Amino acid sequence: MEKSNIILIGFMGVGKTSVGKKTAQILNMDFIDTDLLIEKSLGMNVPEIFSRFGEGFFREKESQILSWVANKRNTVVATGGGIVLNPVNINVLSGTGMIVWLKAPVELIYERIQSDGNRPLSYNKSIEDIKSIYSKRHDLYKKYCDFCIDVSGKSIETIALQIVDYYKKSGRFF
Ligand code: S3P
């Protein structure tokens, strides 16, 4: 199978969506965001899905949507921060392209996300709460990525160009 996609993983607030859009623009590829796909398919936003149906339901939808994503080619895919919690998700995604982990220190992440009402898992939480979620995810991001970029102090364009560079060198550039 042609592995022409670029899949962005990483914790909430690291910039997967903005970097993904920029990367797609540079490479003239399509862009999709799994959270947006879920929102569109259900006609409600992520906080609403969490409050009405719970996290378990959201995770089911997240996995279901990936079967559609798996058919895409030449596409940059921004994923939700919890995509790594289900190894089946990673199996599906890694079959379609290279996985890039956008990494940032938890303190920076906390600053960016704690007052964001669109993120039910982190909204109004303490830094200890965020650290606790982060520590459960860190090793999964590390294990599943083909390539990692520390995003701290870098512009969206710089990060996108690093991804482009790696993508071209990886031999998956068609
Ligand atoms: C989640 C991250 C969110 C979204 C949902 C759950 C998580 O996406 O999927 O709120 O578990 O980390 P972002 O990583 O784009 O914020």
Summarised one tens digit per residue, pLDDT across range 54-105 is 999 999 999 999 999 999 999 999 999 999 999 999 999 999 999 999 999 9
Question: What is the model's pTM?
Answer: 0.96
The reported pLDDT for the residue numbered 172 is 61
User: Rounded to the nearest whole angstrom, what is the distance from the C-alpha of residue 174 to the centroid of ligand 1?
Assistant: 30
The reported pLDDT for the residue numbered 114 is 87
User: Rounded to the nearest whole angstrom, what is the distance from the C-alpha of residue 120 to the centroid of ligand 1?
Assistant: 8
Q: What mean pLDDT, rounded, does the chain reach?
A: 95
Which is it for the CA torsion 79, 84, 89, 93, positive or negative? positive
The reported pLDDT for the residue numbered 174 is 44
Atom of ligand 1 at shortest distance to CA of 11?
14
CA distance 83 to 100: 13
